[in-house]
Structure 1
Amino acid sequence: MKKILALCSLALMGSNAYAFSQETHKRIVIDAVNYMAQNPTTTQYNKLKQYANANNLTINALANLLGQAAYDVDDFEDTFFCGAITGDCVQAPLWGAAQSIVKYTSYWHFQNHTQGADSHGNDFGGYNYEKLTVWGNVDSLAATWLKGDYLDDGAGGETGWFRADDTQYNTYGVTEANYRVDSHSNYSMYDDFEEMPFQPIDNLGQYWYQSFLQSGQPQLLGFVFHTTDLLQPHHTWTTSALNHSSWESWVKDYYDQEDLNNLQLVRSAMATFTPIAKNSQDIRPLLTQGGAFSYAQGGIVLNSQDHYDRLTTAKQVIPHAIAMVVHLLNHAMVSR
């Protein structure tokens, strides 16, 4: 538990909000709680209220806390790449603020549905530049910028030339190990960026869900909800480019104006998910259902900036993202 709390503190060190999509993550979680409040007989809303009371929170305060935690995952300071020559380790590229790569932690936020099982033994892998089937300028820029760079594995591990070693954080020994749920790794997988098979986002969600079940802390449950990235088509087609940033910006800008969180659409989306069995603690099958949906329905937004194309996709993926969080909340309330 000390390790979990230390990572939580580390996660909150970065307080600057860089990405509009963080706000969308927060809104999705708050809307999921609102849906439960309006549908108490078909959801675990009453248990959610009891959980809020047990944590000395109103239901609105709990929704905000969970949403903020989902937002905060993009600010984790837990992933550093180190220069192949210099050994200097950094958590973001110099040019990232103007693109969709603000921190390298975002590479854990993909589930590649264009490929099958990965080298770790996961049914779907995460981001792996070598295995991409769609890519664009940001992907190529990152692979060029980071060519030969390695994942920080702490003091005494991989180094630059002449044993240069400016390690900042044992990313391989902590972050990758945490997200290695039910899979296997060796460090040689992470000594060249352009070949790195990052763990998929469903493993991230599973790690934090297990942490929540052990501790009962709402912040840890909120971290799980960043997995709504699985309803963002770029995260299942797997690319940092191809209108990635402009699509996410469009969703934020039109979230209210186009009623993307319409609760009638959420109600319909609820039925498309298979609920997690009460006696199971593995949420990954549900998460993968969400990823499969965005992969099947949302590919057009990688190649079109047309408002109607984006609206058609958003009216599907946002209600499904909200519904996925409702299912996760339902399971969490009967499993803790």
Structure 2
Amino acid sequence: MKKTLTLALLLPLFTMEAQAFSQETHKRIVIDAVNYMAQNPQTTQFSKLQQYASQHGMTLAQLANVLGQAAYDVDDFEDTFLCGAVTGDCVQAPLWGSAESIVKYTSYWHFQNHTQGADAHGNDFGGYNYDKLTVWGAIDTMAATWLKGDHLDDGKGGQTGWFGADDSKYNSYGITEAHYRIDSQSSYSMYKDFEKIPFQPIDNLGQYWYQSYLQSGQPQILGFVFHTTDLLQPHHTWTTSDLNHSSWESWVKDYYDQEKLNDTQLVKAAMANFSAVPSNSSDIRPLLTQGGAFSYAEGGIVLNSTDHYDRVQTGKQVIPHAIAMVVHLLNHAMVAR
């Protein structure tokens, strides 16, 4: 339920069912970040955030909702189609995906693999690449088997199934991959066989949308950036679609509020663990990589343990750091334009 926003009544701006690093928790984390700024106006760019809301004809609560909803919406992007090696038929999700947490192929852009070094594109850390995984499970293998030889939709770029079969839906290589190709290099040959595809990492996704925000100033565009809190989900930096991925998210959904994973004091402590983006820089990727390095270093136990205590300990580290990362991004966004 939405509550009236006053300086005396700032938490919560909204109450909602929380989910971990699935869509509704992406929204929740952003709203919690705005709440934190409202509670700490002297150490954040809260006044500028208020001005930004007013400039767009919104209350602060409405702005928080728009930003959070945009972070939520990134998982719904219809921008990534994989095409059958034989049929040439292009789809945006596997038939079995909803049962195995691979709802859409766009999610493969949401990883930053800290178990490996630089990738084929020249990024310091690559994204999802089945061929380069160091931890994986049955879901990863199922996807690689199901999609063996399938290619990324290149529009009418020439890649087809057998006998020229081509049911292109969207030029995912020429648009989506190109957007996320920031400061790196690609050739279409990298995207011809799913089991070897080096997807661009999520920090490049965040950088693309942040640059778009700097040009447009639009809240929804800025909100897209905040989907990069996936970097605080350990499965996204250890890089696997399996190994308790879904059960961890379900646990966080159930215990986000009960275990106070968004505790304000924990967020305040987490703020100090990030180096803020310099005001004269528009590159947010170093900050994002700090978030990824933290979840990789501190969160790996949830890949192998379902113990409640282990999950509480991890949740009370990665969720506050996710909120803190958004606060740092909002601070920079409010002074960068």
- Same fold by TM-score, threshold 0.5 exceeded? yes
Q: Deviations over 1:87-142 (max 9, x none)?
A: 00000000000112100000000000000000000000000000000000100000
- Secondary structure of the 2:22 match is helix
5 Å matches for 1:159-198?
159-198=160-199
The aligned residue for residue 312 of structure 1 is 313
The aligned residue for residue 3 of structure 1 is none
Query: Contact conserved, 1:88 with 1:166, CA < 8 A, in 2?
Result: yes
The aligned residue for residue 7 of structure 1 is none
One-letter code aligned to 2:312:
L
Query: Contact conserved, 2:116 with 2:126, CA < 8 A, in 1?
Result: yes
What residue ranges of structure 1 are gaps of 5+ in the alignment? 1-17
One-letter code aligned to 2:269:
S
Deviant stretches of 4+, over 2 Å: none
Q: Per the alignment, do residues 38 and 257 of structure 1 end up closer, same or farther by CA in structure 2, a change over 3 Å counting? A: same
Output the CA distance in 2 between the equivalents of 1:224 and 1:68.
11
State the TM-score, normalized to the length of structure 2.
0.94
Output the CA distance in 2 between the equivalents of 1:213 and 1:288.
20
The aligned residue for residue 234 of structure 1 is 235
Q: Per the alignment, do residues 303 and 207 of structure 1 end up closer, same or farther by CA in structure 2, a change over 3 Å counting? A: same
Query: Contact conserved, 2:153 with 2:172, CA < 8 A, in 1?
Result: yes
The aligned residue for residue 10 of structure 1 is none
Q: Which moved more, 1:288-297 or 1:245-254?
A: 245-254
Shift of 1:21: 1.2
Q: Deviations over 1:214-236 (max 9, x none)?
A: 00000000000000000000000
CA RMSD after TM alignment: 1.0
Query: Contact conserved, 1:23 with 1:252, CA < 8 A, in 2?
Result: no
One-letter code aligned to 1:268:
A
Query: Contact conserved, 1:115 with 1:124, CA < 8 A, in 2?
Result: yes
The aligned residue for residue 70 of structure 2 is 69
Shift of 1:19: 9.2
Q: Deviations over 1:33-88 (max 9, x none)?
A: 00000000000000000000000000000001000000000000000000000000
5 Å matches for 1:95-106?
95-106=96-107
Query: Contact conserved, 2:20 with 2:256, CA < 8 A, in 1?
Result: no
Output the CA distance in 1 between the equivalents of 2:176 and 2:20.
21
Output the CA distance in 1 between the equivalents of 2:336 and 2:90.
40
The aligned residue for residue 42 of structure 1 is 43
5 Å matches for 1:46-61?
46-61=47-62
One-letter code aligned to 1:64:
N
Output the CA distance in 2 between the equivalents of 1:307 and 1:229.
21
Q: Deviations over 1:167-207 (max 9, x none)?
A: 00000000000000010000000000000000000000000
The aligned residue for residue 145 of structure 1 is 146
State the TM-score, normalized to the length of structure 1.
0.94
Q: Deviations over 1:263-285 (max 9, x none)?
A: 10000000000000000000000
Output the CA distance in 1 between the equivalents of 2:98 and 2:31.
27
Query: Contact conserved, 1:20 with 1:248, CA < 8 A, in 2?
Result: yes
Output the CA distance in 2 between the equivalents of 1:260 and 1:308.
13
The aligned residue for residue 203 of structure 2 is 202
Shift of 1:156: 4.0
5 Å matches for 1:289-328?
289-328=290-329
Query: Contact conserved, 1:21 with 1:249, CA < 8 A, in 2?
Result: no
The aligned residue for residue 135 of structure 1 is 136
Query: Contact conserved, 2:21 with 2:230, CA < 8 A, in 1?
Result: no
The aligned residue for residue 15 of structure 1 is none
Q: Per the alignment, do residues 19 and 321 of structure 1 end up closer, same or farther by CA in structure 2, a change over 3 Å counting? A: closer
Q: Which moved more, 1:159-168 or 1:19-28?
A: 19-28
Output the CA distance in 2 between the equivalents of 1:161 and 1:216.
45
